[in-house]
Structure 1
Amino acid sequence: MRLSCTLLLLGLSSPSWAGVTVQKAGLSVPQKYAHRRDQAKTLFTTSYTSYKKFAFGHDDLSPVSEGFSDGRNGWGASIVDAMPTMFVMGLENIFEEAVNFSSKIDFSKSQTSDTVSIFETTIRYIGGLLSSYELSGEKYPILVTKAKEVADKMAFGWVGSNEMPYGFIDFSTNTPTIGTSNIAEAGTLSLEWFTLSKYTGNTTYADLTAKSVKHIANLAAPLPGLAAQGIDPTTGSAVGGYVTWGGGSDSYLEYLIKYARLTNTADSIFIDTWKTAVDSSIRTLLKRSTVGNHLYLADFDDSRQIRHVGSHLACFHAGNWLLGGKLLGNQTIIDIALELNEGCWNTYASTATKIGPEAFAFVSSDGNFTGGNAISADQLKFYNKHGFYITSSAYIMRPEVLESNFHAWRVTGDTKYLDRAGAAIDSFNTFLRATTAFAALNDVNNINGGLIDDMQSFWFAEVLKYLYLTFDDPKHISLDDYVFNTECQPFRAPPALDSYSGKLVPAKPFTVQSGSLPQISPNAVSLKL
């Protein structure tokens, strides 16, 4: 079947009339905030100028030592990941320089370790290349060629009839690294590979990744719609029974609703599973702190116990629920999302630097179990003042709280979200300044805690793009015209449907499997590290 016919069946040839909308009608940024957009742009240009001076062609700048690191296979992750932000900000000269660099990347081999992450390479490299191709009016077809080049190597991650890809692949031999994966690794490829199919005319890319998501969605789950975090690519079976909206599961859940919107697919499994996951979360995971009455989503562990933990990573959920609530026309989801956003912003507002920590925990009326150490005297003191306590104090330049803040502004038009984004800019300028550019922070609650010598590519791709777009004309990169991948790379969406209602999916029985397979740690470090 030709791609044009396939896309028609998927619903990409949508009606010409407008359907569901996400953004508040007639939204505009008050003039008094205009300087904030310029400040966000300056953060970018200052950072990128230093990257060019000390690290160009490498993956990441080390801003304290004025060096570089190559944690993403040495293909120049910061350049490719930053390209769409360059275009969005109107930085034409460095955008064209980045396109020229990208056109010469040799994706046939890794420049560092032979092992390549299918997830990380998809969201940063394929996402950056294809979003740049779209944003620039399809002017540079070499970007599609390069995306195809690296995807063709990663396609070896699907072995035989397996519906699940392995998480990592050896590019020197085109063989996967055998081992346990997780649903975020396996289920966060669909937006990018669908878009690759769209521009290459080869449906294989979309088919591979969509079947992986559907496989996860069809597994028996610990809670309805909420798949276990761990998965064995060899058998396709769940590993353990840990449930979280945080790292290891996060972007699988994020992409369910986004794939439904980007494709307008007639296959209801994506929207149905997302809707069921949200319903299940409201029923089981939604908790309030005993101090401050802050709303949060807890985790659910292998022993079927609630863990009263949260993380910067998980704070994407508010923005994702706002998007889904608007598409579904469900005010309850929207209202809860706005409250979840308040709880996440409180983790910024409460620290000495006014920047949020990596991980935190709560006390609720039904307990304070976290699966880790008991709350210390100092943590209890902090909790009694702020309604949460810090369990990991670093800020590694993550975007999720600002991502949800951006969505809250675009959905509601409440200028308090502009004030918050502005406060974040001030805090970054004050506390993240390094020898050159900006760096990660050791301790958000200690103004003299020192810096971490790292500035990952998502600082360019996500943090600074979300900040810039918060203060930009809302009609530019509108949430009604684009769907963002988990790296904040915009993909143009077709006209919205009149309804994304979906239905709740009946629960399937789930039993935690025992055996020799390793468990995914509930405190797993982010896939973006």
Structure 2
Amino acid sequence: MITAGRLAISLLLASSAIAGPVQAPLIILPPSARTHRDAVVQIFNESFSAYQQFAFGHDDLSPLSQSFSDGRNGWGASIVDAMSTMHIMGLNDLFAQAVNFASKIDFSKSQTPDTVRQGSRSVFETTIRYLGGLLSAYELSNQQFPILLEKAKEVGDKLAFAWVGNNDIPFGFLDFSTNTPQIATSNIAEAGTLSLEFETLSKHTGNQTYANLALKSVTHIANLPAPLPGLAAQGIDPASGNFVGGFVTWGGGSDSYFEYLIKHARLSNTNDNLFADTWHTAVDSSIKTLLRTTTVGNNVFLADFDDSRLIRHTGSHLACFYGGNWLLGGRLLNNATIVKIALELVDGCWNTYAGTATGIGPEAFAYISSDGNFTGPGNTISPDQLAFYEKHGFYITASDYILRPEVLESNFYAFRVTGDPKYLNRAASAVNSFNKFLKTPTGFAGLNDVNDVQTSLIDDTESFWFAEVLKYLYLTFDDPNHISLDKFVFNTEAHPFVAPPAKPVYGTVGGGIRPSTAPFTLRKGPPLPAISPNPKLPKPIMVPPQ
């Protein structure tokens, strides 16, 4: 439910002229924080030791079958993705081994031909994991290892082939052996989540070409007429540069486009207000149109908005990054209303953890608000789901947990912004649940059903377990001055980049609302790519817990 007061305040409260610090001053950690931090390091060491034993050099560990999978070009994604976490945790020997491994990766060709996509791999995933991982490790180690920048440049040079001719929008998949993009529709997350990495590569190489490629993509998207002010449609056709459909979501397929608008403004300190203003407009539109409060529990979520301009009362683990992102942007804009609502969003997403039998949140969920419970044509709520909703204020629509980070990411931001110890307690609860339900004799695995303590496990440890989940948990319990949110900007894979001192102002003073300059036209097109696919596992391998 959106109250008139909340809407009026959100739309009328302009940002202060002076950006505020992101982190709260004088955060005091209790003595127990060190114990919890050490427990996270133990999980990392156990997980990575299993990876070294059964999957070293490959992309991901399969902990139950004690094997491996290669869905990210076979370049050792877990090693590169884990490097920044190793450095932050002070695991110097592992970091040195990872640098040595990365120095020998042959990025000239994919090691994993894919008959489904004819050898093509995701430009987005390669950017956030490999390019982001290499550049962050290079910066965190004070540029002591020039080979990391050299390898990052090799990756960037390959990724540049995704832009064809005069297209502003890159194609989403690229054959890294032939430098040939797959001609297909894409989405704004794939096309608009490249700026932090490409701009950092330009900063260190002195070649502005990389940044220009990424920025022309996000600028193109931000300037298209949108279904709602500031809220771009999810699908986009790189060939025409037009949106495909009119679906709006902060979830998968759109999520990190919105995330990077404000993060690019902060990392670059650009004088172009397009990025901060578009983000601010997207947030205001979301408060006006998408914000929902559940009829049970008063949980706050952001709904989706479909092609028929109907609200879908759905949420996802992926979308739960929004609380942390709104906290970052709200502090940079010094907008107390955005910060307040962001904390409500963090609480709503945390409830999807607190409400399950395992204490771990599901992949997707839905809810009921004052305007109903529509989740899509033909969808209905079962009696069991309704009973669960009446107890917890949400119900589960996809019960698996594949080691995603977003809820804990937002919890980390909430602690750093407020210093409230309740966020430490939540992180500690997650660590306990992970040790209780995800642990196997050879690493950690996902869950098939987060609401069943006897559930089977999923035989896969994605690299973001090392890059994101364990990093955000560790930093929640660590000295807040270490990797401060006022000195670093995280990419969407949790790789921190060194940020310059903050500007006094981000965006246009007074709100910077940028309405669409032309009416939105709904264009149909080919089917969009699957959102956040797990290419290694056509069907999850389910194995009973050990």
How far has the Cα of 1:512 moved from its partner?
4.3
Structure 1: segments with no counterpart, 5+ residues: 1-17
What residue is the counterpart of 2:97 in the other structure? 97
Conserved in 1, the CA contact under 8 Å of 2:59 and 2:68?
yes
- On the 8 A contact 1:240/1:519 being kept in 2, the answer is no
TM-score, scaled relative to structure 2 = 0.92
Query: Which residue of structure 2 lines up, in the alignment, with residue 332 of structure 1?
Result: 337
Letter in 1 for 2:346: N
AA at the equivalent of 1:346: N
Matched to 2:392, the amino acid is H
- Runs (4+) of structure 1 moved beyond 3 Å? 508-515
Deviation at 1:527, TM superposition (A): 5.5
- Secondary structure class of the residue paired with 1:468: helix
RMSD over aligned CA atoms reads 1.2
Per-residue deviation, residues 261-305 of structure 1 (Å, max 9, x unmatched): 000000110001000000000000001111111111000000000
Residues 16-64 of structure 1 deviation map (CA, whole Å, 9 limit, x = unaligned) = xx96310001113111221000001111001000000000000000001
Please give the alpha-carbon distance, in whole angstroms, between the structure 2 residues aligned to 1:296 and 1:334: 14
- Cα distance in 1 for residues equivalent to 2:259 and 2:124: 14
Match of 1:513 in 2: 522
- 2:26 partner letter: G
Partner of 2:477 in structure 1?
Answer: 471
Stretch moving more, 111-120 or 490-499: 111-120
Q: 1:377 aligns with which of 378, 383, 387?
A: 383
Alpha-carbon shift at residue 508 of structure 1 (Å): 3.5
Shift of 1:506: 1.9
Query: Could you tell me the TM-score, scaled by structure 1's length?
Result: 0.95
Post-superposition Cα deviations, 1:292-335, rounded to whole Å, max 9, x if no partner, equal 11111000000000000000000000000000000000000000
1:142-189 C-alpha deviation (Å, 9 max, x unpaired) = 101101101111101111111010001112221110000000000000
Instruction: Note if 1:354 corresponds to 2:359.
Output: yes
Aligned mate of 2:209, from 204, 221, 231? 204
Tell me, yes or no, if structure 1 residue 391 matches structure 2 residue 397.
Answer: yes
Aligned to 1:342: 347
Structure-2 change in CA distance of 1:279 and 1:497 (3 Å): same
Match of 1:247 among 238, 247, 252: 252
Inter-partner Cα distance in structure 2 for 1:295 and 1:430: 29
The match for 2:11 is: none
1:111-510 to 2 correspondence within 5 Å?
111-113=111-113, 114-371=119-376, 373-502=379-508, 503-510=512-519
Shift of 1:433: 1.2
Aligned partners of 1:239 and 1:512 also within 8 Å: no
| CA 1:355–1:389: 2 relative to 1, 3 Å | same
Aligned-partner SS, 2:486: coil
Instruction: Report the residue type matching 1:272 in the other structure.
Output: D
Distance 2:313 2:527 in 1: 20
Equivalent residue number for residue 75 of structure 1:
75
> Secondary structure of the equivalent of 2:292?
strand
Conserved 8 A contact 2:326-2:338: yes
Question: Does the aligned pair in 2 maintain the 1:181–1:230 contact within 8 Å?
Answer: yes
- Over 3 Å counting, the alpha-carbon distance change for 1:424 and 1:292 in structure 2 is same
Q: Given that residues 302 and 512 in structure 1 are in contact (C-alpha distance below 8 angstroms), is that contact kept between their aligned partners in structure 2? A: no
Task: Quote the sequence identity (%).
Answer: 67
Distance 1:476 1:431 in 2: 30
Letter in 1 for 2:342: A
In the aligned structure 1, how far is the partner of 2:143 from the partner of 2:180? 33
Q: What 5-or-longer segments of structure 2 have no aligned partner?
A: 1-17, 114-118, 536-546
Deviation, structure 1 residue 116: 2.0
The answer to whether the Cα contact below 8 Å between 2:275 and 2:507 also exists between their aligned partners in 1 is no
CA separation of 1:19/1:231 partners in 2, compared to 1, >3 Å: closer, same or farther?
Answer: closer
Q: Within 2, Cα distance between the matches of 1:444 and 1:329?
A: 37
The number of residue pairs the alignment matches comes to: 509
Specify the SS of the correspondent of 2:362.
coil
